[in-house]
Chains A and B, each alone.
Chain A
Amino acid sequence: MNAIYETFKTRAEAVSAEVHRFASKTEAVDFITHYLRDAGVADAAQSYALWADCPFLAGIDKQRLEQQVPGLSFDVTREKASSTKVGISQLDWAMANTGSLIQDASAVDCRLVSTMPNIHVALIGTDRLVPDMASVFARIRPEQANYISFITGPSRTADIERVLTIGVHGPEKLIIVFVDALAEVN
């Protein structure tokens, strides 16, 4: 698992994503709350943080988190998302050889928090790492998921003078958080 994680990390960082790994959910939550505060999340328009419902949240005291981080909310709406700085969601698979994350994004909430904010924090169980595209395609089921998303690094363009510019219509930052302990939840 370590080798495949390292491959993922190298590839994801090569496309300007940040990659972190924690053993426990508690450590991951701790990292996220600190990250949100450092990123300037506050209870004000354009500064909110929005966390889409996901398996990671099972057993987490959401109210306490909302109190700890003013501006953080778990109630995803279109209006809120368009005024949000950091979106948080959990992804289903991590494809190592391109540093990509894959998700059944049929629920609109997980798309809103990963497309509209400036920053997307992506949670993923370390056990969901697979080596390549063929392994991903063996695991995803379009018949059962009307909208599947692949995310590889932040939003980018080179449409003006071929100069790579990060952050066009989607997030300008992608923070990937691997959690070893998520294996049990899944």
Chain B
Amino acid sequence: MRKEFRDSIGNALHNPNLTGALGRFSEAYRISRAKAYEGIDFEKVRGQISERKGYAAGHLDELAEQFTQNIESRGGKVFRTDDPANVREYILALAQQNGVQCVVKSKSMASEEIHLNPFLEKAGIEVCETDLGEWIIQLAGQTPSHMVMPAIHMTKEEVADVFSEQVEQGQTPDIPKLVKFARGKLRTKFLSAEMGITGANIAVAETGSLVIITNEGNARLVTTLPKIHVAIVGIEKLMEKFDDVVPVLTALPRSATAQLLTSYVSIISGPVSNTDGTPKQLHVILMDNRRTAMSHDPKFKQALQCIRCASCLNVCPVFRLVGGHVFGKVYTGGIGTILTAWFDALKSADEIQSLCIQCGNCTEVCPGKIDIPGLILELRRRLAVEKGQTMAQKAIFSVVNNRRLFHSMLRAGSLAQKPLQRDGFIRHLPFFLSEMTEFRSLPAIAETPFRDKFKQIEQTKQKEKAAFYSGCLIDFAYPEMGEAVVKILNKAGIEVVFPEDQTCCGAPARYSGAYEVAAQNASDNIAALLEEDVTYVVSACPTCTVALKQDFIHTFESLGRKDSLPRAHELSAKAIDFSTLVKKLVDDGRLSFKEGQQLEKITYHDSCHLKRTLKVSEQPRELLTKAGYEIAEMYEADMCCGMGGSYSLKLPEISAPILERKLVNIKSSGATLAVMDCPGCVMQIRGGMDKDGADIKVEHTAQRLADRLK
């Protein structure tokens, strides 16, 4: 990671205006978005959008042709090009032929993408952004920090200063006055401009229509007052049918700004008359810039289903801390990372892809049903292939791929850490490792790993068997969690086996893009776990469960290892997470809780992989309630704790403030115990509580259930 990039993260994190504004916005957004969708079946709407946009992404050529024919039959002109340079030159030539001196623009991300403004300005043409946020940014000489709210990082005082310095002295930080001032100043530009440039939210092929939405009304003026209208349209905006507009217009305003509809929607299907009666020149530029290549990529084709609502930014725990500038100059946030990799260059996304903590919040709100974290992982994989792994990564992964070496190093670590640990925690690490323990304590490596303790557990022989997959954290840091799992399953009459050859689930390698390493881990685990005939392969770590159930398959698929797939599917069918299995055993009457228990007030933290990948959130709550606990829900219970596996080691400066929020939310719940299903979350949150000094215990669900069963 370059120092410049680290510095830009540091600057953002230390900008209270930015983090304050974005933090408040993300909290308000969650509520207002839900209200805007009242009475709407979001899953149905996004199903329609992804199907219709997906269809369009597979028929771009055909739709572009149909669109062109239709709008040209009514007098519009269409220029289709692959190359951003051609777009810039087309517009400049058009401007020069028509003696254009001033251009007014309504918001267009496509024009940002091709850096149009500086190009026209260099040729002596005045370019004026008219969306208020864009105008502020333009005057301040900055780039947008958010796709929908470009100036969200600026205070009214800063805006007043920019207006005073760049436009007219004496502006005061009074928002209505600043808006009025902008209206007056920009009105003269609208009236004098000879050319108006817009983007488009949708381009309908069957009718040859552009759909443009705004709230301020600037697009209406841009398309009405100047005699030339140029629309720059990325070809992924094409949709087949006029009726396809309905689901997009239903979702876009609700997801972008929590409105039922924006103030204005303009549907332009051909030239109209100018105010002097002459016909308007209407030019539509269909810009490709690698979108067709993207549509031919089986993985990334789905990214063309984006409707640019920016909801993936609004729910992102990382974006609300660092804002958009860290991501670069044009597209920001999760989807921005993907678009930058394609529209700019794969290597441009090298650093920004590392910002994704893989929590999956964005997948729940994306109206285009795009698997943004999955695509970011794919970028990571391709980058890793392209540039190869660093020496350090290679060294680590060669250890992880050798179970005996890996485990003996962990055992050695248990001895080496002795001077550093006290009551199960490591609170300070020396030298370069100190960052890891600055904001949370780390668990000490257990003296006796679970694999050794397991041998001491006495079990009765049973017909039904389950293999326990511990994962590294339970094995070497939290063996007591594994013991609790065995105790519970035994109560239900299930004998637990622990296949000795199980090893790391491969998540660290996979999430670093090292798929070959992950595939080796997958093969080793499949061999170990399928050796004995068991009914279930149970894990008490959601990330491990996702590996067993889904990632092994995906990894083999990505690498084209078809031969390995049948066994991976066999394992997947048996793999189950702890809470889902226990809930099933309770439902089947094989486990029951002691009656009349009234236990302490607890709060439950949803782990990312459990809630959003495995779709499990009610099961642990129901079990804990049945056990006699009263659950006091914390604010943002399903927001990431900042652990993200090795993320907290790579980007501790981001992990720490995410954890900080989680700790505050847990403390505010009034509970004295925080329970969760993931040993990784326990490690992060327990370590944070230890540093914080708060008297709140942090435990795995299994530990809390083990003693409550009859």
A interface list, Cβ under 8 A from B: 11, 15, 77-78, 82, 97-100, 105-108, 111-112, 115-116, 133-134, 137, 140, 142-143, 145-163, 165, 167-171
Contact = CB atoms under 8 A, between A and B. Distances in A.
Contacts of A152: 260-265
Given A162-B24, A169-B190, A169-B221, 19 more contacts: A82-B187, A97-B260, A98-B261, A111-B224, A137-B245, A147-B267, A147-B272, A148-B266, A148-B267, A149-B265, A153-B263, A156-B215, A157-B179, A163-B175, A168-B183, A169-B187, A169-B217, A169-B220, A170-B220
A152 B21 CA distance: 27
B207 A142 contact: yes
Contacts of B265: 149-150, 152
B513 interface: no
A82 B209 CA distance: 28
Interface size class of B (residues with CB under 8 A): 35 or more
Nearest to A99: B260
B179 A160 contact: yes
B107 to A, nearest CB: 10
Contact of B224 (A11, A115, A145): A115
Interface stretch (B5-13, B130-138, B385-393, B699-707): B130-138
A174 B677 CA distance: 53
A160 B159 contact: yes
Contacts of A106: 272-273
A160 B245 CA distance: 30
A150 B132 contact: no
Nearest to A159: B133
A7 B18 CA distance: 39
Contact of B220 (A77, A115, A158, A165): A115
B175 A165 contact: yes
A158 B257 contact: yes
Contacts, number: 164
Interface stretch (B55-63, B147-155, B443-451, B658-666): B147-155
Interface string B507-521: 000000000000000
Query: Closest 6 A-B residue pairs measured CB to CB?
Result: A170-B217, A159-B133, A150-B265, A78-B275, A146-B270, A168-B216
Given A160-B156, A160-B159, A163-B175, A142 B132 contact: no
B320 to A, nearest CB: 13
Contacts of B275: 77-78, 108, 112
Nearest to A133: B246
A134 to B, nearest CB: 6
9 contacts: A106-B272, A111-B220, A137-B242, A147-B266, A156-B263, A159-B150, A160-B136, A165-B179, A170-B221
A108 B273 contact: yes
A159 B132 contact: yes
Contacts of A78: 191, 225, 275-276
A167 to B, nearest CB: 7
Nearest to B243: A137
A78 B267 CA distance: 22
Contacts of A149: 220, 264-267
Contacts of B132: 157, 159-160, 168
Interface centre among A142, A152, A153 (most CB of B within 10 A): A142
A145 B223 CA distance: 15
B447 to A, nearest CB: 53
Nearest to A150: B265
A142 B209 contact: yes
B74 interface: yes
B261 A160 contact: no
B155 A161 contact: yes
B130 A169 contact: yes
Given A108-B275, A159-B133, A165-B179, A98 B260 contact: yes
Nearest to B151: A159
Interface centre among B155, B180, B190, B215 (most CB of A within 10 A): B215
Contacts of B24: 162
Contacts of A137: 242-243, 245-246
Contacts of B179: 157, 160, 165, 167-168
Given A146-B269, A152-B262, A160 B178 contact: yes
B250 A133 contact: yes
A170 B261 contact: no
Interface in B56-83: 70, 74
Interface in B246-292: 246, 249-250, 257, 259-276
Contacts of A150: 261, 264-267
A120 to B, nearest CB: 10
A117 to B, nearest CB: 11
A170 B531 CA distance: 71
Contact of B175 (A116, A140, A161, A170): A161
Contact of B183 (A105, A133, A169): A169
Interface string B214-239: 01111011011100000000000000
Contacts of B204: 142
Contact of A165 (B176, B217, B269, B273): B176
B175 A108 contact: no
Nearest to B75: A146
A162 B541 CA distance: 40
Contacts of B133: 157, 159-160
Contacts of A167: 179-180, 183
Interface centre among A106, A112, A150, A157 (most CB of B within 10 A): A157
Contacts of B268: 146-147
B25 interface: yes
A160 B175 CA distance: 7
A108 B272 contact: yes
Nearest to A161: B156
B681 interface: no
Contact of A170 (B156, B250, B263): B263
B272 A151 contact: no
A107 B215 CA distance: 22
Nearest to B191: A82
A169 B74 CA distance: 29
B152 A154 contact: no
Nearest to B245: A137
B149 A162 contact: yes
A105 B154 CA distance: 36
Contacts of B25: 162
Contacts of A133: 246, 249-250
Contacts of B221: 115-116, 169-170
A170 B267 CA distance: 17
A129 to B, nearest CB: 16
A142 B178 CA distance: 37
B250 A157 contact: no
A27 B262 CA distance: 31
A25 to B, nearest CB: 28
Contacts of B136: 159-160
A116 B159 CA distance: 25
A143 B261 contact: no
A153 B243 CA distance: 24
Nearest to B265: A150
A162 B243 CA distance: 32
A157 B149 CA distance: 10
B182 interface: yes
Nearest to B216: A168
B224 A157 contact: no
Interface in B189-213: 190-191, 204, 207-209
Contacts of A98: 260-261
A160 B172 CA distance: 13
